[in-house]
Structures are given as structure tokens and as C-alpha cells.
């Protein structure tokens, strides 16, 4: 299968080389890899150029955006800078982070899943982080959730969900919309991806408010937002995060920010969320 990969990167000199090395040694090589060097002030560009000089299917795009860490919008705008340079010959489009080490059979295994299930819209492995000299599951979300760090989409699914939303919550709304259109999702527990920089390590308070804003924009409503915020804060062992999330929700509601989904999609999302909560 034709895998096209876009990797947004901002000051990733400590990790990007390991990520690219893990991709050039895949048992099924990607057809194209585009690294989008977004406002890096370190040696990210030079390290990527070492690979572009050796592999004609790896390319580099340099772009300049804000140097602020803005989860969601910044990374997706960078993604599109790379995506726009690609042709339409892909079967699977991937948005990968620049701080991952993939097992050598990662793309081959994903290709197997996509080939054997025509209704499979999205798939991934699992992120593992180093803790006490061991690699352990980065347990921040449900096991059936495909992490934003390693998204892989079937082309038809990607187009049907209208691609990626430049907003915090993009990596949740994409799954919800895929389900709305009847696609299946898969996470393969045998695929252990090393995540070198744990999620949220550089989030500031403004960024944390965006999580609550995203819940509003996905039309969760107050009760689902309340429960989701409690759950996320508990997983991260921080009552302060709960306050940040709820402040973000009420701020977005007061400002009447535009939603990411339609009324019909919002009803589907709320029904799906309530069903999941009741089952648990």
C-alpha cells in the first residue's frame, strides 16, 4: 500500500533523527515522507537534510509560524504545509510526531489491517514512554483511541471527515466523525511505539484551557464535558487541570466560538459518549 507521511517538527533535534531512522528501516517503506520544519531554532533542519540527501522519498519543508506551543492549530497548520506538497496517489495518509521510534514492521502491520478490512478507516499502534529504565504504556486515554502522535487514515475516510481540523481536539473529532460515517477504528496492541517526549510536557495554562474549548466545539454539552474533564484530570492526577478545562469550556461558550461539527454530528457524538459512559 502507498503510505504518505507528514511529520510536523518544531525544535526536535533530540528526537527527529531516531524517528526518521525508524522509518527508513521499515519492512514496508513509505512512498513519501515530508518533514515540516516549523520555526525551529535548533539543528532540526540540518538533521533532516542528512536524510533528504540519502533518500529521494524524504523531503523537507521549512515554514515559519508562531514560536508559541499551541496544541492543535499549530501542528495541523504545519501538517497542511506538508500535505499540500503531496500528490493524490496515496492510499494511507499519516500524521506522525517527530519524537517517535517505530518498530520495523509498523507500516507493514498497518497495511495488513487496512487490506483485510475495507471498512477500516483509521489504525495505529500504542505509545510507550520510558519510566524507571523501562518502556511502559503511556496510559492517558482509552485503549481504543488512536493517539494524535501516530494517526493513519485510509484516503476515503480522510476525505469524508473533511481531513483534519486546526483546533485542539482534532485527534478526537476525527475519530468521532469517522464513526459518524460508519468507519471502523483499530489499535494494534502488538505495535509498541516509543514516545520520546511524553504528551503535554510543554503545555501551558492557555493550552490547557483549549482542552475545555475543544469539548465545547465538539458539542459535548455541559454534563459530558464535566465528566470528561474529571476523568482527564484524574488520569493526570491534577485537580487544577479540571478547573482549567472547565474554564476553557465556559469561556468558549461565552464567546460563542464556532463548532467543529454540525448539529446532526453533535447529536451522534453525544449519544456515542453517553453510550460509552453507561457501558463503563
State the DSSP string of 25-90. Answer: T-SS--SEEEEEEES--SSHHHHHHHHHTT-TTEEEEEE---SS--TTHHHHHHHHHHHTTS-S--
Mean pLDDT along residues 184-203:
85
* Alpha-carbon torsion (195, 199, 204, 206), positive or negative: positive
pLDDT tier at 258 (50, 70, 90 boundaries)?
A: very high
pLDDT of residue 64: 86
User: Does the pTM exceed 0.85?
Assistant: yes
**pLDDT > 70 in the chain, percent:** 94
As given in the structure block, the three cell numbers for residue 230 are 474529571
pLDDT tier at 269 (50, 70, 90 boundaries)?
A: very high
| 87-114 per-position pLDDT tens digit | 999 999 999 999 999 999 999 999 999 9
Domain ranges in the chain are 3-195, 205-279
Report helix, strand or coil for 125: strand
d(CA 143, CA 29): 27
| Strand partners for 130 | 135
Q: How many helices (DSSP H) and strands (DSSP E) are in the chain?
A: 10, 9
pLDDT of residue 11: 94
pLDDT tier at 144 (50, 70, 90 boundaries)?
A: confident
Which of 74, 13, 86, 5 minimizes the C-alpha distance to 38? 74
pLDDT of residue 70: 54
pLDDT of residue 71: 58
Report helix, strand or coil for 204: coil
Rounded mean pLDDT of the chain?
Answer: 92
Mean pLDDT along residues 159-171:
94
pLDDT of residue 168: 86
| 231-249 per-position pLDDT tens digit | 888 887 888 889 999 999 9
Any idea what DSSP says for residue 164? Answer: -
pLDDT tier at 208 (50, 70, 90 boundaries)?
A: confident
**How crowded is residue 156: how many other Cβ atoms within 10 Å of its Cβ?**
13
Among 22-31, 59-68, 182-191, the least confident range: 59-68
Asked if the model's pLDDT at residue 67 lies above 70, the reply is no
| Multiple choice CATH, 3-195, 3.40.50.740, 2.170.120.20, 3.40.50.300, 3.90.550.10 | 3.90.550.10
Relative to beta strand 184-195, strand 100-101 is: antiparallel
Kind and range of the H or E run holding 168: none
* Alpha-carbon torsion (3, 152, 19, 105), positive or negative: negative
Relative to beta strand 120-131, strand 184-195 is: parallel
Asked if the model's pLDDT at residue 72 lies above 70, the reply is no
- Annotate 256-272 with b (16+ C-beta within 10 A) or e (fewer): eeeebbeeebbebbbee
pLDDT tier at 13 (50, 70, 90 boundaries)?
A: very high
pLDDT of residue 200: 56
Helix residue spans in 143-262 (DSSP H): 155-160, 170-180, 205-217, 222-235, 239-255
Which of 124, 117, 243, 258 minimizes the C-alpha distance to 195? 124
Asked if the model's pLDDT at residue 178 lies above 90, the reply is yes
d(CA 125, CA 87): 26
Mean pLDDT along residues 46-59:
98
pLDDT of residue 227: 94
Amino acid at each position: 500500500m502507498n503510505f504518505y507521511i507528514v511529520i510536523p517538527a518544531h525544535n526536535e533535534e533530540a528526537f527527529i533523527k531516531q524517528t526518521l531512522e525508524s522509518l527508513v528501516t521499515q519492512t514496508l517503506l513509505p512512498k513519501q515522507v515530508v518533514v515540516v520544519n516549523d520555526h525551529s531554532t535548533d539543528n532540526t533542519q540540518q538533521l533532516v537534510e542528512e536524510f533528504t540527501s540519502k533518500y529521494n522519498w524524504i523531503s523537507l519543508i521549512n515554514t515559519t509560524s508562531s514560536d508559541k506551543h499551541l496544541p492543535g492549530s499549530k501542528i495541523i497548520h504545519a501538517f497542511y504545509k506538508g500535505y499540500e506538497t503531496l500528490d493524490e496517489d496515496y492510499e494511507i495518509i499519516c500524521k506522525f510526531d517527530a519524537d517517535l521510534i517505530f518498530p520495523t514492521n509498523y507500516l507493514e502491520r498497518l497495511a495488513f489491517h487496512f487490506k483485510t478490512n475495507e471498512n477500516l478507516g483509521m489504525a495505529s499502534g500504542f505509545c510507550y514512554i520510558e519510566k524507571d529504565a523501562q518502556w511502559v504504556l503511556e496510559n492517558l486515554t482509552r485503549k481504543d483511541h488512536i493517539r494524535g502522535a501516530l494517526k493513519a487514515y485510509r484516503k476515503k475516510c480522510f476525505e469524508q471527515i473533511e481531513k483534519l481540523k486546526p483546533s485542539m481536539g482534532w485527534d478526537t473529532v476525527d475519530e468521532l466523525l469517522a464513526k459518524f460515517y460508519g468507519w471502523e477504528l483499530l489499535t494494534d496492541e502488538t505495535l509498541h511505539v516509543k514516545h520520546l517526549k511524553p504528551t503535554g510536557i510543554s503545555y501551558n495554562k492557555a493550552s490547557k484551557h483549549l482542552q475545555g474549548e475543544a469539548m465545547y466545539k465538539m458539542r459535548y454539552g455541559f454534563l459530558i464535558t464535566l465528566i470528561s474533564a474529571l476523568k482527564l484530570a484524574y488520569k493526570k492526577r491534577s485537580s487544577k487541570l479540571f478547573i482549567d478545562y472547565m474554564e476553557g469550556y465556559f469561556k468558549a461558550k461565552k464567546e460563542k466560538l464556532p463548532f467543529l461539527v454540525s448539529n446532526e454530528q453533535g447529536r451522534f457524538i453525544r449519544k456515542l459518549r453517553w453510550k460509552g459512559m453507561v457501558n463503563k
